[in-house]
């Protein structure tokens, strides 16, 4: 990776392939500074690419029901994280099964309830997720667009944040503001950058370099180029069909680029403080929910 100092809901995980789990799952949040940047489609296709490399993937979806991962895949979630928090359902009962045995968790309502949990409820949630320790290698989070004054806790708790940008001024401005808030108010210093809707690899890297130069001048952060996704009509066509482009057009330039991005993010290093697996991630998520929601209320 180039471094520039940058369907059945009840089935859940039971159909995930069983092989030896790694020491801990890696957790990546995919974020964007504006709506309609193509973030959800990116998350779905990255998950498929990871699954085809033998990784067992959990998608956590924070977006509203009209524009989320389930909609993107033609699925319907009857239950979500809030049902687990209230002990109405166990975690494996609320997980949807997507393509390539990907597990999908709808989490928007549950995330907003985290800062209200008492210690017993917090412990229950951590123990619920610890059951996934031997079933999940990679967690990808499709975080909601939070606006320019608030950072959602999923971004703060993740091992890595990958910011999706394009050449549009609104995309670049929104991404810059989010990185500024996370770096200056929450001391997150490292970000992966993915350029979407690029005309070519050269164009994508030029967009990245210009963004990097501004961030380097005004922010104390490290940006890492994760790759690009081309402006490919076959990707849009696949999205309309509620299918990943890796399934409908596996030889397309978009599908090839998703494979390259996956190679890059798997090679990215994990900061020491984020080691410890999925249960440690949930503990961090609960802690950051109090911090970020408190700042949101100010």
Residue 26, marked binder: no
37 belongs to an annotated ligand binding site: yes
Three state DSSP letters for 161-210: EEEEECCCHHHHHHHHHHHHHHHHHHCCCEEEEEEEEECCHHHHHHHHHH
Asked whether residue 39 is marked as a ligand-binding residue, the answer is yes
Half-sphere exposure in the Cβ direction for 53 (13 Å, CA)? 18
Q: Annotation-wise, does 38 bind a ligand? A: yes
Sign of CA dihedral 61, 67, 72, 74: positive
Please state the length of the chain: 298
Contact between residue 94 and residue 106 where contact means Cβ atoms under 8 Å apart: yes
**14: alpha, beta or left, given left = phi > 0 and alpha = psi -120 to 50?**
alpha
Check whether 41 is labelled as a binding-site residue: yes
Angle at which helix 278-297 crosses helix 119-130, to 10 degrees, equals 140
Distance, in Å, from the CA atom of 71 to the CA atom of 149, rounded to the nearest integer, reads 27
Binding residue numbers for ATP: 34-41
Binding residue numbers: 34-41
């Amino acid at each position: 990776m180039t471094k520039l100092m940058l369907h059945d809901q009840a089935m859940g995980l039971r159909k995930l392939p069983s092989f030896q789990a790694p020491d801990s799952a890696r957790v990546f949040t995919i974020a964007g500074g504006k709506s309609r940047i193509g973030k959800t489609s990116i998350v779905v296709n990255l998950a498929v690419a990871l699954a085809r490399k033998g990784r067992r993937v959990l998608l956590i979806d924070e977006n509203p029901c009209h524009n989320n991962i389930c909609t993107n895949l033609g699925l319907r979630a009857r239950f979500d994280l809030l049902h687990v928090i209230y002990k109405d359902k166990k975690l494996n009962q609320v997980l949807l099964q997507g393509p390539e045995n990907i597990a999908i968790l709808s989490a928007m309502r549950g995330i907003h309830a985290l800062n209200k949990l008492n210690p017993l409820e917090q412990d229950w949630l951590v123990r619920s997720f610890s059951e996934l320790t031997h079933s999940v290698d990679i967690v990808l989070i499709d975080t909601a667009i939070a606006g320019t004054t608030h950072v959602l806790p999923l971004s703060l708790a993740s091992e890595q944040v990958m910011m999706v940008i394009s050449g549009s001024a609104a995309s670049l401005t929104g991404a810059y503001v989010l990185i500024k808030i996370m770096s200056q108010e929450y001391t997150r210093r490292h970000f992966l950058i993915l350029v979407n809707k690029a005309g070519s690899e050269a164009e994508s890297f030029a967009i990245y370099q210009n963004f990097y130069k501004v961030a380097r001048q005004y922010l104390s952060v490290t940006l890492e180029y994760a790759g690009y996704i081309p402006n490919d009509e076959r990707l849009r066509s696949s999205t309309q069909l509620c299918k990943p482009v890796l399934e409908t057009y596996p030889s397309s330039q978009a599908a090839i680029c998703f494979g390259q991005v996956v190679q890059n993010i798997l090679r990215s290093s994990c900061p020491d403080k984020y080691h410890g697996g999925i249960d440690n991630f949930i503990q961090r998520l609960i802690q950051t929910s109090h911090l970020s929601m408190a700042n949101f209320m100010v």
